[in-house]
Structure 1
């Protein structure tokens, strides 16, 4: 639409139909017909708009009628121009508003996209934090469980050691009394058999009390209830205690080969290290059981040695091994290949986290039907 910043023409001010209607109206007001056009004809008078001539008016009954009609046309042209100006302003304003709305709409779309991306990132961050919290809770649970086991072991040690002590002492005294009875009792076949059986019973009972005392000592070492959270510990002692506990767990049916070399003391958390060794040995025992319950060739190798500035522990079995599809997830919490109810899926997770907490490392090399080799390294601390 024309903004009329430049001087308009008559055709721009009035359409052909509007010009015809104006000519008829003017002719009705005058005694003679009146014609408004862009071209001068005869005694026509000029018609001005904004001090500029836009057309010529001819006809009419007199000169006065011509001038009056021309003045009326100029007056009307002013209102036409004002209407056009208002229409143009409204049009420009509407277009500007529409353009601004479009710009705001695009900005809102871009903002929505950014917020969606931010929401996705926040959700990912929340999920990661939830995983961290869940893992931390699990670690706290494990820590609390270990402390409970330690307190239980301390109670067991306190309650059992004393009676085991005097039972063992009394049995030895009783065995000595049997020797005395041999000298004073009549030497008859019945007495000899009776005293011989009695002595063997006492010997077996003494061996049983020694075994109970050994188990209690292993539990005490396993829980390390009388040690600070971090202290200098003997890795070989912890390994042997874990081996004894696993042997007890499996009724001493496991073939465990120990190749423990002399090691320097390591600064660490004894109960957590013991738990780690026990978990790994238990996994190895399960692998042997899954491979063949009646296979006497199944064995577990436990080896320790110094390698540079680290202590290297190897626990290896020749059991069923880990399927290739499961190897990438073996350290995932709650992941287990055992039947439902046979494992929590936390053994390797706790072992890895414990070794990392001691600034060490754990690697696993496993092949189906060949076996699994777990290697742990712990930094050496001076004793």
Structure 2
């Protein structure tokens, strides 16, 4: 006995030929059935004006070329051929005239046999305009971000400050491309100077807790090992009252500003020390003049006593002893005078103004004036290139050269004049915007303990009365005051090399 089907089941399984047509008619799309020649064999009963600007009364037996611009029809014909050949769905976007404008049409082609395919045409002009506006807005934003003098970022407030977005200028700052940060191959934490990381986290945490922006000053490390000074301004973005989604901010390279500030600070200190040196020299020089005047008087009186009591050996011997003591006093005074001269030179150079200087000409002039004190003890060999002008003090440069030449001459004094040599080189430095003055000798050199104290004032390895110990100290102050840098390398028994870096002058 066969089972009977429920009446409702029979009714639901019965095909309703009008159902699909009704559904298609309600769609805003134009659905066409095409043969391989792009001829319309069937279409839904809805209005084709939603897609076509001026459709014929009936679409049956028309080709795509009858309804669409030739270029658009040819693209669809090519896509139709691909869909039928490969038996795969094809989607493309094209433009057709519609109501005096260009409408953006999305065409989806689906093969239903080897000779027939359905094509669904949908007007996506509104969506296209929205996407286009969004794309243009993104381009404007990106252009704005990339033209900013800093790095714009959005990152998570996690242990590494993982970047969600970071602008391309980060590569100029740390030598690594932005994609390395967004793909988590590196992080902002890793390029931050280790000594500054804890302070940064503390300041950001505190600002976030107060719902306030944060300002940070710290250092980043470039891929080449150089240090960049950073100013950063940012704030947290909250999803709820206290739920942080990310941090937004901007990072600016203020290394040049930091260097300028340091130069100004150094110049101010140099001016202050120069004033102090001038005052000290003046205050010492006045009583020294009195001492010298009285010594001269005592010397004259002793000569007279010696002549008056020439026959008295006790008196003459006492006078001779006093005269020897006076000579020692005068030797000490000469040393004090030498120190005063150094302090005056330091003061004059510290308080003199920087200017454009022809370093090659000035170095040659200073070396010619230094030859009389060098040639008796060593050969002076020069290598002077034609370098850019420097921004420095003429007095400072000359005093620095003379002090270093004096030090080198003293270092080679144990050698014979034929074997002793002092090499002076002036050339463009590997450092950016710097000129290098190098003075090298093959003298006694210095050990690490002495080298560590080389720039200390009044530190000297010479005997008592032979040197004031101000040479390198004065040079360091002069060079720093001119915005430069000085370094010393030395090996016992092999010699010493002093390198002076001075900034090239700005364009006039």
**TM-score, structure 2 length as denominator?**
0.31
- Larger strand fraction of residues: 2
Structure number with higher relative contact order (C-alpha < 8 Å, ≥ 6 residues apart): 1
Q: Larger % of helix: which?
A: 1
Tell me the TM-score normalised to structure 1 length.
Answer: 0.41
Mark the structure with the bigger radius of gyration: 1
